[in-house]
Chains A and B, each alone.
Chain A
Amino acid sequence: MLRSRCFATVALAVFLTASSAMRLTADDKPADRRAKVGDDPNISSQWIYDDIPTAIAQAKRDNKPLLVVFR
């Protein structure tokens, strides 16, 4: 019981940290935005930054379609 409470507390702390880390503001410089997005597991687990070969390899491995955005 104590163990699961500890786990829940740690998970909540990680979630809150990630949430606040990924809050983007208009004043963020591009590097800050990259860092914040990269720190957010909800985003970084789904998006690959500027590495098309890795994305292609993962798409092939997982047999998933690819979304490639140029900006």
Chain B
Amino acid sequence: MCVRAVQMRGVDTSIFQFDFDLTFCAFFLSPDLTIYGRYGSRKDATDTQFNIEAFKTAMSRALDIHKGFPANKAALAPKTGKAYEWKLPETMPSLEQMFRNPNFPKGCIHCHHVWRGVRRSMLMEKKPLPANLLYTYPMPDAIGMTVDPASGIKVSAVAAGTPAAKAGVLPGDTLEVINGQPIVSIADVQWILQNSPDAASLKIEVTRGAERKTLTATLAGEWRKAADFTWRTSCGDLRLGMLMIAMSDDERKTAGIKAGGLKVKNVYKNGAATNAGFQNGDLVIGVNGQPMQATEAEFLAYVRQKLTLGAKLKLTIVRGGKRQDIQVDVP
């Protein structure tokens, strides 16, 4: 039975959890909605993640899992996540609020809106965002293994010194099971990483030639945070109402700094930054009296994990060669 979903209104997010900044995402499920596997999703990796052969492999593996169902049901249980506080996107407080806005189009709830719903509903309750709601759905590269997009399950490279390398994963290994969950595609690996704590142990079962091997990868520290999340459509809602990019060397000279700094590339219409008085081209050199040394992703992570809605943030900028402080209320 095949169904194509084109929007998220009425979709049960206690079952259908995926990287909502997507291009294409597929779920393979049993009739009782046990998840066999996932395929696809994030859109910044379109060239490297989507492949018809890998999709066929995922479908084939999902059908193999189906043949073993329901005997394998317990192993598949972790493929369904912990339910969000709000099951249906339209009941998430921030989305309810968004659709009450008369200026907002009353159409469908897009997939990326669900990230807004989950994140902003937490922020509205003064809860800081956990790292896995900022650095969402890490690719296997986050732990040091690149998976060949043409197969979706075969490791093509392992970076030295990474958790995958230390575990003994080798290029050419085929991923079979991780932490008891059968793997049908890269998206299944992402699912496991998304739900792994920062410190975790991954039991990775691979086939290497005719052999089956069980390897253990140890995750610790900030492995998740290597990913840049600012490409995401949903990131717009994390910003202060303006998109910032790294300064060039010339801009640093203009701003009188040697390192770091962010340049305001685009001030969003009617946003907090507009209200505060920011302009395109402003050079941001300081935050709350400290030099701005962060990337935009690091800065946004600081804002969304350390500050609450309405908090005052003082940014020091250079505009037309002159320094000035601008205070912005965290939106």
Contacts and interface: CB of A to CB of B under 8 A. Distances in A.
B1 A69 contact: no
Contacts of B22: 70
Contact of B5 (A59, A64, A69): A69
B28 A71 contact: no
Contacts, number: 97
Interface string A38-70: 000000001111111111101110111111111
B63 interface: yes
Nearest to A34: B6
- Chain B: interface residue count, which band? 20 to 34
Main SS at interface, chain A = mixed
Contacts of A59: 1, 29, 31
B84 interface: no
Q: Which of A50, A55, A62: most chain B Cβ within 10 A?
A: A50
A63 B27 CA distance: 17
A65 B26 contact: no
B14 to A, nearest CB: 13
Nearest to B33: A56
B111 interface: yes
Contacts of A64: 1, 31
Interface residues of A, number: 24
B63 A65 contact: yes
Given A60-B31, A65-B30, A65-B36, A71 B6 contact: yes
Given A66-B29, A67-B29, A71-B24, 10 more contacts: A50-B4, A52-B5, A52-B10, A52-B12, A64-B1, A66-B27, A69-B3, A69-B4, A69-B24, A70-B6
21 contacts: A48-B1, A48-B3, A49-B3, A52-B3, A52-B11, A52-B12, A60-B32, A64-B31, A65-B28, A65-B29, A65-B62, A66-B1, A66-B28, A67-B1, A67-B3, A68-B27, A69-B24, A69-B27, A70-B18, A70-B26, A71-B23
Interface of B: 1-7, 10-12, 16, 18, 22-33, 36, 59, 62-63, 66, 111
